[in-house]
Amino acid sequence: MKKNLLIAVWFTVVTTLIFGIFYPLVVTGLARVMFPDRAHGQLIERNGKIVGSRIIGQAFSGPGYFHPRPSNAGTGYDPTASGGSNLAPTNKNLVERVKGDVQKLQAENPGVPVPIDLVTSSGSGLDPEISRAAADFQIPRVAHARDMKAEYLRHLVAKHTKDRDLGFLGEPRVNVLELNLELDALQASR
C-alpha cells in the first residue's frame, strides 16, 4: 500500500509539472513566436494608444457610429463577465427588451425589417461583429449624422465585410470597431 501511495504521489507531481507548467509554457511560447498578433489579443493601436481588440466587442452608442449587438456581459462588453443572459425566449424581460429595441430601430429606419442581430445578444456577449444586413440597416443613420453619402458608406461597409470562413462556414460579417475607427479617421482627414 505504501508503494502504491508513493507511485500515486509521484505520478501527480510529474503530470502536474508536465501538463500544468511545461506544456502551457511551450504552447504559449510557440504561439507568441508563430502568431504574435493573435497571442496578444489582436489589439488595435492608434497613435500609440490601444483602442480595442478585433475579437472583443465594444459599445458604440452615438448616432454617427455603427452599433454592435446588444451585450449581456456584465454592464455591457465586460470581458471579465462574458456570457449570455440565459433568459428563455419566452421570458417577459427579454421579450419586452427586444420589443423596445425593435420599436426604437424601426423609428430610426421605418419600413425596413430589423436584422435579428441588432436586437439579440450573442452567447458570449462580446461579439465584435454584426451581419452585413445589420450594417446596411444602420447606413442611413450614420450617413445623416456624419453628413456623408450613403453610397460611400455602403462601399466602406463592403470593404470591411469578411466572407464566410473557408467559403462555407458562418455568415459574412462586419467588425464594428474597425469600421468605426476608419470612419473616425476619414472624418479627421476632412
Domain boundaries, the chain: 1-40, 42-189
Return d(Cα 7, Cα 185) in angstroms, integer: 63
Return d(Cα 59, Cα 67) in angstroms, integer: 7
pLDDT of the residue at 78: 79
State which H helix or E strand residue 178 sits in: helix 176-189
Task: Report pLDDT digits (tens) over 85-126.
Answer: 788 889 998 899 899 999 999 998 888 999 999 998 887 878
Task: Report pLDDT digits (tens) over 17-31.
Answer: 999 999 999 998 988
Check: CB of residue 106 under 8 Å from CB of residue 114. Answer: yes
Strand ranges in the chain using DSSP code E only, listed in sequence order: 43-46, 49-53, 129-131, 161-162, 173-175
Residue spans of the chain under pLDDT 50: none
pLDDT of the residue at 190: 67
